[in-house]
């Protein structure tokens, strides 16, 4: 383990609510310094009053690449280094594959995927010069399985997983670490209007969606305030994991999804093998 008394400097997107807010305050409470960002500066203004010089609050819309670059430059200049880059900004699009407008799907990807890529690409030159750093992406257990009605959200996390896995291999030689945090179901504000966009509905899906939403309401949800210690263990580890599931429901769900896939591939392996062409 690294020296945990060493103060780290965090750069966190989506600091205004949910996990982003909880982890921002937890890092500050343990004595680290944080560049907290959000689309509306007013939503994180109280952090400056509470934590003073330990926090720098900046307005950031991750869908604006030029603003991302400017914000990263300002953040690095302010504290002189950036140790942990935690990409947390994101939201969900609720609607079936048929219902969702393509413009809404593009907007979802602009935030959930391309916004993160903008941050990663902007910060890498600084981390390479430092010779260290830790990029952490907030994915989801739904980066390994998909659900109806929120399939487009799940797809952003599938892409997120693949890109970060490639990134980890590409930048390892520079001393930069990569980790994916994959929460299961938690009682955050992720279901609030600020974190959801609803597609215009088609009547033919009403019953199906009602059953799905009722199922979500009855899901067991974890306490998000219990999660900071897991995040600290990841950022303080000399050899952090590429992936960390959060909550005791995530692993059983992911294991079930992969077991089903493996069973299908095994069932069809003769068909697969027969077309190798050798």
The catalytic residues are 139, 153, 157
What DSSP element (H or E) covers 180? Answer: strand 176-183
User: Nearest to residue 12, comparing CAs of 31, 3, 4, 32?
Assistant: 32
DSSP per-residue letters across 208-242? HHHHHHHHHHTS--B-GGG-HHHHHHHHH-SS--S
User: Which residues, including other chains, have CB under 8 Å from residue 253's CB and lie 6 or more apart?
Assistant: 141, 145, 184
User: Which residues, including other chains, have CB under 8 Å from residue 206's CB and lie 6 or more apart?
Assistant: none
What does the DSSP 8-state code read for residue 8?
Answer: P
């Amino acid at each position: 383990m690294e020296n945990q008394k060493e103060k780290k400097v965090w750069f966190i997107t989506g600091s205004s609510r949910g996990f982003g807010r909880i982890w921002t305050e937890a890092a500050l409470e343990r004595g680290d310094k944080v560049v907290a960002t959000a689309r509306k500066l007013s939503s994180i203004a109280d952090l400056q009053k509470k934590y003073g010089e330990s926090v720098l609050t900046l307005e950031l819309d991750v869908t604006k690449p030029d603003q991302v670059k400017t914000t990263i430059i300002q953040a690095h200049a302010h504290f002189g280094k950036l140790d942990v880059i935690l990409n947390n900004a994101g939201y969900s699009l609720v609607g079936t594959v048929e219902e969702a407008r393509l413009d809404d799907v593009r907007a979802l990807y602009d935030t959930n995927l391309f916004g993160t890529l903008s941050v990663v690409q902007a910060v890498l030159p600084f981390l390479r010069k430092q010779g260290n750093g830790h990029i952490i992406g907030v994915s989801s257990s739904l980066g390994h399985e998909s659900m109806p009605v929120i399939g487009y959200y799940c797809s952003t996390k599938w892409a997120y997983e693949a890109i970060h896995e490639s990134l980890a291999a590409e930048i390892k030689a520079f001393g930069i670490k990569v980790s994916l945090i994959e929460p299961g179901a938690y009682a955050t504000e992720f279901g609030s209007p600020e974190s959801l966009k609803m597609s215009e509905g088609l009547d033919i899906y009403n019953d199906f969606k009602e059953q799905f939403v009722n199922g979500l309401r009855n899901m067991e949800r974890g306490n998000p305030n219990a999660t900071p210690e897991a995040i600290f263990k990841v950022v303080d580890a000399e050899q952090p994991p590429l992936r960390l599931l959060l909550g005791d429901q995530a692993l059983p769900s992911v294991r079930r999804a992969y077991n089903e896939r493996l069973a299908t591939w095994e069932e069809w392996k003769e068909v697969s093998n027969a077309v190798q062409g050798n």
